[in-house]
Structure 1
Amino acid sequence: MLEGETINAQKLIDFILGKTVSKAKVMEEFSLHNSEVLALVPKEYSKVTYIRYETAKAHVHQFLSFKYGIDDLEFRELNYEFIKDYEFYLKTVKNISNNTTLKYISNFKKIVLRAIDKDIITVDPFKRFKGKKDKIVKRPLTRQELSVLESHPLLVERLAMVRDVFVFQCYTGLAYIDVFNLKHSDIKRGDDGDLWIISDRQKTGSAFNVPLLPQALRIIERYKDHPQCLMRNTVLPVISNQRMNGYLKEIADLCGIESQLNTHKARRTFGSTVTLNNNVLFM
């Protein structure tokens, strides 16, 4: 009656016998969710999103093994203490930063909320959990730092290629996944007679129209006959995001740039340093 359900003899019998208690398990539901996400790549989700959920699932599975010596547990066994212990495990055993820890917990919370929506459990174990993100000041490259990065001679081909892709992002504002998928068909001549990138962002589906500055055009020309570009029919030879960020750290050391380089910094550099210095106007 309290749950607003109709009462009949069979429901009473099932309740007394314990048949109404769901024994659904966390890792099984996590796997089901991730399989559904994968099936919707690239229509509704990016491959990066799927990989992130797979990583989050792996962390939960490893925590269960580390803390309890099990591979799975029922949703009804989750509680506030479990969530706090999981947070502590990620920060200590896994040595993951606070903000990244909260992202993995958020991924896990989605699975728990899914279980609530499916009436697997009725109580939210996250109800009293409050995570606070650390405020991080993310500054773009200065005009001088960008100039040093562009002009510094890099004799190793893989480093020079990663540098060029990063610089291209700085002059176009494209996110990693968008520059990875950029095709020549996305480059069109605008009403002003100049070449523009006219496409949609994969993450949001929103239109992305930006003029191609001379620096970006030179990089496109440099890689027009690159084997990887010809094979994938893309504008630039972009490697995996993880490898690219790893090489960018090496490039920063070689160029004497103290601030950390990553693909996100390129978008911030475009949004401030490049647009302000080049009077970029958007369609």
Structure 2
Amino acid sequence: MFNITQMFVLFWFRKSQAKSEELLRKNDPNYDTLGFICCRVTIQGESVEIGNVHIECRKSQWDANTQQIMGKSPEIKRHNKRLAEVKVKLERIFDMLQIDYEHVAPSLVKDFFTEKRLFRFTIQQLISEYFKDKQVDVKEGRITQDTVDVQKNYSNNLIQYLQDENLLSRLPRSYDGNIVAGFRRYLLEIKGFGKPHTYKHTVWLKSLFKHSLNEKRLRMNPIEKYPIGSDNTKIDTTHITVEQLSQLALFDFYDLARKGFIAEQTAKTCDLERDAFVFNCFSGMHHVDYKNKAFRVESYKGDLFLKGTRQKTQEEFMVKLLEPAQAIFTKYGGQIINLPIKSNQKRNATLKQIAVLVGIPVVLSTKIARKTFADIALNELLMDIQDVAVCLGLKNSRYLKHYARIREKRLAAKMRSWNDILKFA
């Protein structure tokens, strides 16, 4: 049988020893005394006091059974969150100490918790602790799981690079610009990544070290001053034109099947994916929000409005559905659940095939649909920039530059003739 050692964390209420509090308790036996929350850890029957965790409350507020302060005020919520953080930190320290020590004494846990002694983290341990923190952020709604999953891919590529270069055993404190530059070359030359994707990897690497320093897992950040520049690429606002979108919306894939150019199943797949793509060209939704069906369709004065909250930013979005989008919605019974969905990878693979079949000289993707919406709203419908940002669920209109740019058509319609200005001068 395995002998699994456990550590128990206990929080408890300690009365204040201030003379004023002692006097109040002496004069009134029912006085709700003020006190502090303290902590102790126990391992195999051996205990040690961690001490005051710097949280003050009344005795009546402390619930020893739930190990929480009772109440719903913002201050109490912050206190309970602090208690949870202390418990998690102690448990992490205990887990890591068990790797290096056959027996972990409570006093050893205390030394590392109070930072009398410090860990010498490996890069893999830094990454592991980093993602434990990020899962807390996901749970509390600060970031999405998709963001964490992308960052895990960055970390996997970093570990692979360090393994290939026999650098995995090197302590993080000895990292320098050469390692960061080597990682960048590895991504560009060995992995074949583009500059933007490589840039995101190096940004994440720097954030890993910065976060580790903030959490006191490192005494200093050895790559803090290493410049990573920018991705040096022009913002890609590729979209399809109104003519191309109309051509795609009306294209009959089943006619190609009847003529023997493609299989019946291929026609069905393309028809479904075309509908999803065109719908998003008129809704502007991100693939994740569309796939999760995290939106609703409501009627307002005879028009249909699509509304939802972006998973990535938690920003609300809202857009009026124009006729082609309404037609697709009706085609699927006016039910959101019936709209066709696929994974992002499978959608993009089918969209490339569709572009060839329809004769559209653009490498179609889910991102192209969102950028097409932005271009139509900005340059065809001449909507205000802030309104377009609201439709896309952006936090700020300045992020709109990543989706569309102002074209001549908008300026031609917006800018009046000089002669017209003179008439009213």
TM range, smaller chain: 0.7 to 0.9
| TM superposition shift of 1:105 | 1.5
Quote how far apart the aligned CAs of 1:95 are. Answer: 0.4
Deviations 1:84-108 (A, max 9, x none): 0000000011000011100111122
Q: Is 1:188 paired with 2:298? A: yes
Pick closer, same or farther for the CA change 1:178–1:122 going to 2, 3 Å.
same
Distance 1:121 1:253, change over 3 A: farther
Matches within 5 A, 1:104-143: 104-119=201-216, 120-133=218-231, 134-143=233-242
Q: What secondary structure does 1:208 align onto?
A: strand
Alpha-carbon distance in 2 for matches of 1:204, 1:273 = 23
Mapped partners of 1:278, 1:125: distance in 2: 47
**1:269 equivalenced with 2:269 (yes/no):** no
Whether the aligned pair in 2 keeps the contact of 1:172 and 1:210 (CA below 8 Å) is: yes
Equivalent residue number for residue 30 of structure 1: 127
Deviations along 1:173-208, one digit per CA (max 9) or x if unpaired, are 11111211225x711122x33221122222212221
- Give the unaligned 5+ runs of structure 2: 1-110, 255-265, 391-425
Residue 138 of structure 1, CA deviation: 2.1
Identify if the C-alpha distance between structure 1 residues 35 and 248 changes in structure 2 by more than 3 Å, giving closer, same or farther: farther
Aligned match of 1:245:
348
Instruction: Find 2:197's aligned residue among 100, 104, 114.
Output: 100
Change beyond 3 A, Cα 1:42–1:186 = farther
Distance 1:44 1:112 in 2: 20
Shift of 1:81: 0.7
Kept in 1, the 8 Å contact 2:209–2:221? The answer is no
Q: Counterpart in 2 of 1:10?
A: none
More strand by share: 2
- Greater relative CO (CA pairs within 8 A, separation 6+): 1
Q: Given that residues 116 and 124 in structure 1 are in contact (C-alpha distance below 8 angstroms), is that contact kept between their aligned partners in structure 2?
A: no
Q: How many residues align?
A: 257
Tell me which residue corresponds to 1:200: 309
Aligned partner of residue 269 in structure 1, secondary structure: helix
What SS class does the counterpart of residue 165 from structure 2 fall into?
Answer: helix
Structure 2 residue matching 1:189: 3-state secondary structure = strand
Question: Unpaired segments of 5 or more residues in structure 1?
Answer: 1-13
Compare 72-81 and 88-97 and name the one that shifted more.
72-81
**Distance change in 2, residues 1:274/1:151 (3 Å):** farther
- Aligned counterpart in structure 1 of residue 363 of structure 2, from 252, 260, 271: 260
Question: Do 2:281 and 2:373's aligned partners in 1 also have CA atoms closer than 8 Å?
Answer: yes
| Corresponding residue for residue 56 of structure 1 | 154
What is the rounded CA distance, in whole Å, between the counterparts of 1:150 and 1:98 in structure 2? 34
Identity %: 25
Q: Structure 1 residue 147 and structure 2 residue 257: aligned?
A: no
3-state SS of 1:131 partner: coil
Instruction: Please report how far the alpha carbon of residue 20 of structure 1 lies from its aligned counterpart in structure 2 after TM superposition.
Output: 5.8
- Report the counterpart of residue 418 of structure 2 in structure 1: none
* CA distance in 2: counterparts of 1:113 and 1:59, whole angstroms: 19
Which residue of structure 1 lines up, in the alignment, with residue 18 of structure 2?
none
The Cα of 1:235 is off from its aligned counterpart by: 5.0
Q: What is the rounded CA distance, in whole Å, between the counterparts of 2:236 and 2:215 in structure 1?
A: 40
Q: Is the 8 A contact 2:203 2:228 kept in 1?
A: no
TM-score (norm 2): 0.55
Task: Say which is worse superposed, 97-106 or 125-134, in terms of deviation.
Answer: 125-134
The letter of the residue matching 2:245 is L
1:83 partner letter = V
Query: How far 1:216 sits from its partner (Å)?
Result: 1.1
Is the CA contact 1:139–1:265 (under 8 Å) kept in the aligned structure 2?
yes
Larger Rg: 2
